[in-house]
Amino acid sequence: MVVTKVSRAECVDDADRAGVETVRFYDNPEAIRGDWERLAARVGTRMSSRFLYAVGAHDTDGKGSFLSVAVYRGAEMVALAPFAVRRMLTVEVVRLLGHGRGVVGEILAADADAARVLWRAVAARGLVLHADLVVGSDIAVSTLLDDPRWNCAVRVRDTNLSVDLPEGTVPVDIRSARSLKRLRSYRAALTRSGSSLEFEQLTTPADVDRRWSDMCTVAAIGTSGRDRVNFLAPPNEAFVYRFLRREAELGRLVIVGLVIDGVWCAHDVSVRTGSRLEGWVTHYRPECARTQPGHQMMEWLVAHSNELAVDELDMGIGPTDLKLVWANNRTPVVTITGVRSGRIGSRAIVRAIETWESGSWVGRSRNLRDKARSAWRRVR
């Protein structure tokens, strides 16, 4: 374990509390794995904040050095921001581990007091924050935006679509009877032609092992020639396989497969957090498109939501035709770029980071050459 800095801060907003928080900085994720996993199990709402996902994704990317900012009350971790640090000219920019894979990011915090201590420590260290694809209402994020120590720029980046499923919800509560009849007609047509269509649920490590080759094959076919990243192929395959097997061991994995005439034709990969089922990747064979595999699997998930013990199907970031017709809830997803208030050139730093992160390579180069360097000089 490497502790690069330890500071102490009292809880400032609750006069009835006598708790004292300790802030620690680590450059080795294994040093805090146990505490991290316990905190994520206690307060986490997204798979991106889990140890194996965040660290596995970072190790796969190899971008930036690891830095974790952890807040403890006694022996218990109560907040955690796992960062990848990259130097941009004269400043250190921190991003959440595992960003860039199309899932919502999350900073873990048991409460607003713990989050305030966390952000105070990050500001004191002089780090520049670029948090992509986060939800503004999360405890840690909303606390950051309310903190006068921080100068933040917030940009709505995308939309996270989901299906809320109160107890007893059935597919006809979400989609029209006509739409569902059309899906049934596709299944009936296969039966009349002598073919079979089955739904197969994978939840155990053995299930993952048995179907992994089929899943990789369908993912490769389904993403070929399309502007989509195949997360079931190198360099991500090993990381995703380990993560899904671990989620299966913990009873949190739900993979729905569509099998036609014994051939694995489509799959929807989801991970459960509490009562939310968070969708990650969906692939299908183009020759099966006529059966509308995505809609078939969504209908299956809604129909089985009670036995899966979930009341929300999180379909992830970005609108698609399928998501738009099933979703009954939309949450803005934002990107936050922040720097300590009062820092010389803070606004220029924020603008430069935003330009770098959102612009084209040509635009980035020109802006860094013609504008950003002067901003960095003012910071020195």
Q: What is the DSSP string of 186-223?
A: HHHHHHHTT--EEEEEE-SHHHHHHHHHHHHHHHHHHH
The confidence score (pLDDT) of residue 30 equals: 96
Q: What is the percent of the chain with per-residue pLDDT over 90, rounded to a whole number?
A: 78
Sequence spans of domains, the chain: 3-159+332-379, 166-310
Q: Two tokens at 334?
A: 């934002």
Give 168-217 pLDDT, tens digit per residue: 999 999 999 999 999 999 999 999 999 999 999 999 999 999 999 999 99
Is the pLDDT assigned to residue 133 strictly greater than 80?
yes
Half-sphere exposure of 20 (CA within 13 A, CB side): 5
pLDDT for 19 equals 63
Q: Is the pLDDT of residue 366 over 60?
A: no
pLDDT for res 360:
45
For position 359, what pLDDT does the model report? 58
Distance CA(38)–CA(33), nearest Å, equals 9
For tokens 């004269």, name the residue.
90
Token look-up 């991003």 returns: 95
CA 251 – CA 17 distance, rounded (Å): 37
Taking residues 31-44, report their average pLDDT. 97
Of 37-41, 182-186, 223-227, the range with the lowest mean pLDDT is 223-227
pLDDT at 226: 86
Whether residue 107 is predicted with pLDDT greater than 50 in this model: the reply is yes
| CATH-assigned architecture of domain 166-310 | 3-Layer(aba) Sandwich (3.40)
State the sign of the Cα–Cα–Cα–Cα dihedral 361, 362, 368, 372: negative
Radius of gyration of the chain (CA): 23
Output 347 or 44, whichever has higher pLDDT: 44
Query: Model confidence at 61, in pLDDT bands (50, 70, 90)?
Result: confident
Residue 7 is predicted with a pLDDT of: 42
| Cα–Cα distance, 124 to 277 (Å, whole number) | 37
What global pTM score does this model have? 0.86
Average pLDDT over residues 237-258: 97
How far is it between the farthest Cα atoms of the chain? 75
How is domain 3-159+332-379 classified at the CATH fold level? Aminopeptidase (3.40.630)
3-state secondary structure of 67: strand
The SS3 assignment for 29 reads helix
* Dist CA 112 CA 121 (whole Å): 14
Mean pLDDT of 139-167: 95
The C-alpha atoms of residue 158 and residue 41 are separated, in whole angstroms, by: 27
Compute the average pLDDT of residues 224-249: 95
Same fold across 3-159+332-379 and 166-310: yes
